[in-house]
Amino acid sequence: MDLPGIVHRAGGALLGTLQHVRIPGVGQASVTDDPATSARRWRAVTVLRDQAAVGTPEAPPPPLDRFGDRIEVRLTAAPADRGTELAARFRGTPSEAEIGELRAALREAKQLLEVGEVLRVDPQPHGQRKPTPQGAALEGMTEQAPKEGVL
């Protein structure tokens, strides 16, 4: 049995579940929608750039462009001086994995527009990684983190 692999995947799954926990005080990020409604929600980042610099619904900024016509894109001027709201959602009913890819793509698009590059943290210097269940779970969690969250 691939126990480390199971724990690794469990860590990633735990991160997704965290948002759905409804214990008072823990579930600030709860998603109480049913899965179909949740999947259809617009997922958005606010980019501190003028709308013209962000793109158009027909020509969204990279890497959103790689989704092609699988997604619809909406651009709206954000209130006050906050830039442009860049939102996207799948036309059909997406899987959890596809939603994760869209979250990561929105975050990357924002970074490319605001900073010009996507932040990297690997490889980093580190000492010996002990093969513990907690460590495997955390690695699963961090691997999944760019694709998870309330976005």
Residues that bind other proteins (CB under 8 A): 15, 18-19, 25-26, 28-29, 45-46, 48, 81-83, 103, 107, 110-111, 114-117, 119-130, 132, 134-135, 138-139, 141-142, 144-151
Q: Are 105 and 63 in contact (CB under 8 A)?
A: yes
One DSSP character per residue, 20-60 reads: T--STTTGGG---S-HHHHHHS-EEEEESS-HHHH--SSSP
Query: Strand 71-77 and strand 43-47: pairing?
Result: unpaired
Give the nearer residue to other proteins in terms of CB position, either 77 or 145: 145
Q: Smallest distance, Å, CB 140 to other proteins?
A: 11
Give the nearer residue to other proteins in terms of CB position, either 42 or 92: 42
Interatomic CA distance for residues 49 and 35, integer angstroms: 32
Q: Smallest distance, Å, CB 72 to other proteins?
A: 23
Question: Residue 119: helix, strand or coil by DSSP?
Answer: coil
Give the nearer residue to other proteins in terms of CB position, either 73 or 113: 113
Give the nearer residue to other proteins in terms of CB position, either 28 or 36: 28
Q: Smallest distance, Å, CB 46 to other proteins?
A: 7
Pair of tokens at residue 35: 């899965």
